[in-house]
Amino acid sequence: MRMYSSKTAPNPRRVRIFLAEKGIDMTYVDLDLKQGDNRTAEFMAKNMFAKVPVLELDDGTCISETMAICRYFDLQHPEPPLLGQSPIEVATIEMWQRRVEIHLMTFVGFAFRHLTGFFADRETVVKPWGEESLKRAAAVYQLLDSRLSESRFIAGESYSVADITALCAIDFAKIVELRIEDSQPNLLRWHHEVSGRPSAQA
């Protein structure tokens, strides 16, 4: 079993943190996305969308998409319960995970791609869309600061996959100069706490 990954991309980092929290060892194959390692015929046979991470099982089965990989391991290693236990916990964590993924991580990704032109050799770069995406991502910081004024972690009082997604998005956003403001003390408090977990260095 091995994981096709990238040391610099946020989605593979989400999986690395998740596995570190679970105490699961993994063999990683690091791909250079800038050089197009993910666009070879060999890799695209594993994931036709040419994205990382991809988990390849011993029988050759490949599972892509961050949350699909996390769910695979969570079913085998339920502790700690990063996806929740009770129906309300599972639903609440899923709600916040989706909110952070769609409204923050997605727009941080758009800002990165359209402001830096990192993948300009393979996609059309639209700078105004990058600027708009950056504004949308910044607006979510304020929403999260408000949420964290009433909750220790994003989905409640326990650390979850929603925190992992938010941490990876916020850390990656520094590349496009988006940072937590001093006027967002709850988000700063949260970021300090989750960044201090050993798994954050995975």
3-state SS assignment for residue 160: coil
Q: Which of 172, 171, 167 is nearest to 190 (CA)?
A: 167
Q: H helices within 1-55, ranges in order? A: 10-22, 41-44
pLDDT value for 14: 98
CB atoms within 10 A of CB 136: 16
pLDDT value for 89: 98
DSSP 56: E
pLDDT value for 150: 97
* Token duo for residue 30: 């690091």
| Residues 20, 24, 25, 27, Cα dihedral to 10° | -90
pLDDT value for 188: 98
Tens-digit pLDDT string for the chain (202 aa): 999 999 999 999 999 999 999 999 999 999 999 999 999 999 999 999 999 999 999 999 999 999 999 999 999 999 999 999 999 999 999 999 999 999 999 999 999 999 999 999 999 999 999 999 999 999 999 999 999 999 999 999 999 999 999 999 999 999 999 999 999 999 999 999 999 999 999 9
What spatial distance separates the first Cα and last Cα of the chain, rounded to whole Å? 18
**CB-based contact 182:4 (threshold 8 Å):** no
CB atoms within 10 A of CB 151: 13
Distance CA 30, CA 41 (A): 17
Query: Vertex 33, ends 32 and 39: CA angle to 5°?
Result: 110
pLDDT value for 65: 98
pLDDT value for 63: 98
Walk me through the domains of the chain, giving residue ranges and CATH numbers. Answer: 2-76 (3.40.30.10), 87-201 (1.20.1050.10)
Dihedrals φ, ψ of 162, to 5°?
-65, -35
**CB-based contact 155:85 (threshold 8 Å):** no
Distance CA 31, CA 52 (A): 9
pLDDT value for 75: 96
